[in-house]
Structures are given as C-alpha cells and as structure tokens.
Amino acid sequence: MKIGVIGLAGVGRTHVDRWATIPDADLVSVCDIVPQIADDFASKYNVKGYTSTEEMLAKEDLTAISICTPPKVHLTLTRMAAERGIHVLCEKPMASTVADCQAMISVCKANGVVLQIGHKKRFIPPLLRLKELAASEFGPIQYMVHRYPHPGMSNKDWFWAEDDGGGPILENAVHAADILGFLMGDVERVYAEAGTFFAPHRKPQIDSAVFTLRFKSGAIAVVNAGMVSMEAFNFEDFYVANENGVAEVTGGFDRAETLRYAFRTAPSDVQQEEYPNFDAFRAEIEHFIECIRTGNEPRASGEAGMKAVEICRAVKKSAEIGAPVEL
Ligand SMILES: NC(=O)c1ccc[n+]([C@@H]2O[C@H](COP(=O)([O-])OP(=O)(O)OC[C@H]3O[C@@H](n4cnc5c(N)ncnc54)[C@H](O)[C@@H]3O)[C@@H](O)[C@H]2O)c1
C-alpha cells in the first residue's frame, strides 16, 4: 500500500510519523507547498518530496493519501485523489463549508474510494467504552455536559479566516460536535452564545462559545468550546446521565483516559476503568487501512464529518442571530 502525505508542518508530521512506522504501509512521498518543508521531510524519511499535489499524484502510483492541509483546500485535494482512484484520509474539519463536504462525499462515492475524516476521538478507548455502555446496560445518554476548552492560542491566519479554518468553533469544537454525534446521534437544534474575549485582534471572528444541542432522540447536551484555556489547565471531560445512572470520561485535552460510572440502584458502587497511553492517530490510520482492504464504511465517515461541520456552522449562525438554529 503506497502512501503520500500532503501538508506537513503541523499535524502532517504525526501522519508521516505513523505511516512510516506501520508495517502494512509504504510511505513513498510527501508534499508541501513550502519547498524547504517538503525537502526536510523527504530527506528525513528517505521518500520523494513534492511541492505540488498534482505532480505527486501523477508521478507516484499511490494507494492512499493523508490530507493535512488547512480545510479550504480539502475538497480540491480530495477531488484530485479520488479521480485517480486514490483513497483519502482527510483531517478535520472535513471542509470549511457543508457544500464542500457534500462534494467530497460525492466525488469519493463516484470513484469508489474510501473517504475517512480525521475525527480521532472516535478511536479513544474510554469514549468507545462509553458508547458500548450506552448501547447496553447503561442505556442511551439523555444528558451530557462536555467541557472542551482548547488550551493555548493559534497564531495561524488560515485558522481564523472565516472561509478556511473558521476560527476555534470550526477548527476545534468540530471534535466536540463529532464525538457527541457519535455518542448521542443526530442533532435537531443548536443554540449558542459566543464572543471574542481573548483574541480581540481576530474580530469579527469569535474565539469562544457555549452551546446547547437538542438531539433527535430528545437528549440534550451543553458544550463549552473555544480557545478559552491555557496549557496548565489542559483537560477535557464528559459528564453523562440518564435514568439508570451517571458516568464521566476525563483526562487531558484530546487525551481522555478515565471512565467512571455508577448505577442509580447502587450509587456508591463506582466502576472505574483506565485507558492510558493510547495512540488515536495510529488507531485511525490502522482503521483506514482496514476500510481500504474490506470496503467497509469508515467509523469516521464523510457523512459524519459533514454533520460535524453542519453543527459548527449552526453554532456560529445561532450566536450571530441570537436565536436557535434548526438543522
Ligand atoms: N486531528 C487533530 O488532532 C488535528 C490537530 C491539528 C490540526 N488538525 C487539522 O489539520 C489541518 C492542518 O492543520 P495544521 O495545524 O497541521 O496546519 P499547519 O499550518 O501547521 O500546516 C499545514 C501545512 O500544509 C501546507 N499546505 C497548505 N496548503 C497546501 C497545499 N495546497 N498543498 C500542500 N501543502 C499545503 C502548509 O505549507 C503547511 O506546512 C487542519 O484542517 C486542522 O484542523 C487536526
């Protein structure tokens, strides 16, 4: 399986590293529009380096690519690959707009290639275990409070641009939107309050929001999101309840490791499970390989990626108009 990675400076670094160490895969080329970055990665990993995706796809006989560029170009790069029969693992957010997401799904379907989105939270063990419990003895989640305060502040212009990264709500809270959809199903209505409190020079972009989600099942959730935290307060948590009990998943930001739960029939009998040192990037790439082999729909599908973008766009719209938005 011959692999190319596009967009290397940030999370692309992690994709390159994982692909290079997975025995079933052969990392053969990398691409970045900045020649120095492409050269550095090419020599470090002893692969071919390109500054044009078009040229890389024409010259290399690739099976699949990882797209790790800013979201504005995800559709263009996905289309280039799909039309050549190359499978796509594309970083989140799937694209800047729902229309681009839809076009990515269509072109991948039309060309029979796998499209997986980098929603790595779908591979985090305590969250998978929570989903398993929700489908068994715990029962469906009815109430969720998710704190997801992104630590630190991005200084990348594309991140804040409305037609690209879309700011912290699209760039970061898309993880929250996706994992809540994974755990609780489709969303019906969104209401948000938002502001620009910590990055005033980025106005009119918002840097933080609190929002509620009403799910089609009737369940409800509240999420805190945005670049509202600092490294020393690096955490995330999920507090969950239903008529049978309560549960929580806690840990570092994007590194939840602990699941605790108790049933209302035995409130002091708290179960605790630990899942330390898990590599979600590796797990998502191994799953992508498996989907290419079997033709199965990825756990983080294009449809799921699109729904997460739709929720984030609704959060922004709701904050702008000061009213709930129906999906
Ligand atoms: N899954 C995660 O946890 C995670 C973490 C960080 C970023 N991301 C996502 O990855 C994407 C990139 O974010 P980042 O922080 O790595 O960005 P970055 O700015 O650090 O790196 C992006 C790289 O892509 C290159 N690039 C831009 N356009 C290109 C093109 N057309 N062809 C080839 N190379 C191109 C840039 O030169 C740069 O080196 C975003 O969609 C972001 O949301 C995901």
Please choose from 33, 69, 80, 171 the residue to mutate so as to test ligand 1's pocket, defined by most ligand atoms within 8 A of CB.
69
**Statement to judge: residues 167 and 315 lie in one domain:** yes
**Statement to judge: residues 91 and 129 lie in one domain:** no
Tokens representing 158 are 């594309």
**Statement to judge: residues 269 and 142 lie in one domain:** yes
Strand partners, 28: none
Nearest CA to ligand 1 atom 23: 7
Please give the residue range of the domain that contains residue 103: 2-120+283-301
**Statement to judge: residues 127 and 247 lie in one domain:** yes
Tokens representing 60 are 């290399």
Three-class SS of residue 280?
A: helix
Pocket lining: 91 vs ligand 1, CB cutoff 6 Å: yes
Contact criterion met (CB below 8 Å) for 247 and 143: no
**Statement to judge: residues 67 and 137 lie in one domain:** no
Pocket lining: 117 vs ligand 1, CB cutoff 6 Å: no
Pocket lining: 8 vs ligand 1, CB cutoff 6 Å: yes
Give the Cα separation of 110 and 2 in Å (integer): 22
Nearest CA to ligand 1 atom 17: 10
Which amino acid is it at 94? M
Pocket lining: 118 vs ligand 1, CB cutoff 6 Å: yes
**Statement to judge: residues 102 and 20 lie in one domain:** yes
Which amino acid is it at 79? R
- List the one residue out of 35, 229, 231, 242 whose CA is nearest residue 138: 242
Pocket lining: 284 vs ligand 1, CB cutoff 6 Å: no
Give the Cα separation of 16 and 31 in Å (integer): 11
Pocket lining: 92 vs ligand 1, CB cutoff 6 Å: yes
Domain count for the chain: 2
**DSSP at 153:** -
Give the Cα separation of 325 and 319 in Å (integer): 9
What is the predicted pLDDT for the residue at 124?
Answer: 97
233-249: burial string, b at 16+ Cβ within 10 Å, e else: ebebebebebebbbbbb
Q: What is the CATH number of the domain that holds 202?
A: 3.30.360.10
**Statement to judge: residues 236 and 294 lie in one domain:** no
What is the predicted pLDDT for the residue at 191?
Answer: 98
**Statement to judge: residues 186 and 196 lie in one domain:** yes
Q: Report the nearest atom of ligand 1 relative to the CA of 34.
A: 37
Nearest CA to ligand 1 atom 28: 69
Pocket lining: 95 vs ligand 1, CB cutoff 6 Å: no
Please choose from 6, 17, 32, 158 the residue to mutate so as to test ligand 1's pocket, defined by most ligand atoms within 8 A of CB.
32
CA 260 to chain centre: 24
Give the Cα separation of 120 and 134 in Å (integer): 20
Pocket lining: 1 vs ligand 1, CB cutoff 6 Å: no
Q: What is the CATH number of the domain that holds 34?
A: 3.40.50.720
What is the predicted pLDDT for the residue at 24?
Answer: 87
Using CA of residue 299, residue 185, residue 148, residue 96, what is the dihedral sign?
A: positive
- List the one residue out of 99, 103, 323, 308 whose CA is nearest residue 187: 308
**Statement to judge: residues 290 and 147 lie in one domain:** no
- List the one residue out of 127, 118, 163, 125 whose CA is nearest residue 304: 118
- List the one residue out of 32, 16, 29, 20 whose CA is nearest residue 57: 29
Q: Report the nearest atom of ligand 1 relative to the CA of 31.
A: 33
Q: How far is the CA of 159 from the centre of ligand 1 (A)?
A: 9
Q: How far is the CA of 10 from the centre of ligand 1 (A)?
A: 6
Pocket lining: 185 vs ligand 1, CB cutoff 6 Å: no
- List the one residue out of 97, 125, 102 whose CA is nearest residue 115: 102
**Statement to judge: residues 138 and 58 lie in one domain:** no
**Statement to judge: residues 96 and 161 lie in one domain:** no
Provide the edge-to-edge strand list for the sheet that holds 2-6. 48-50, 26-31, 2-6, 64-67, 87-90, 115-117
pLDDT in tens, the chain (327 residues): 999 999 999 999 999 999 999 998 999 999 999 999 999 999 999 999 999 999 999 999 999 999 999 999 999 999 999 999 999 999 999 999 999 999 999 999 999 999 999 999 999 999 999 999 999 999 999 999 999 999 999 999 999 999 999 999 999 999 999 999 999 999 999 999 999 999 999 999 999 999 999 999 999 999 999 999 999 899 999 999 999 999 999 999 999 999 999 999 999 999 999 999 899 999 999 999 999 999 999 999 999 999 999 999 999 999 999 999 999
Pocket lining: 166 vs ligand 1, CB cutoff 6 Å: no
Three-class SS of residue 225?
A: strand
Strands 115-117 and 87-90: what pairing? parallel
**Statement to judge: residues 262 and 163 lie in one domain:** yes
Using CA of residue 101, residue 107, residue 110, residue 114, what is the dihedral sign?
A: negative
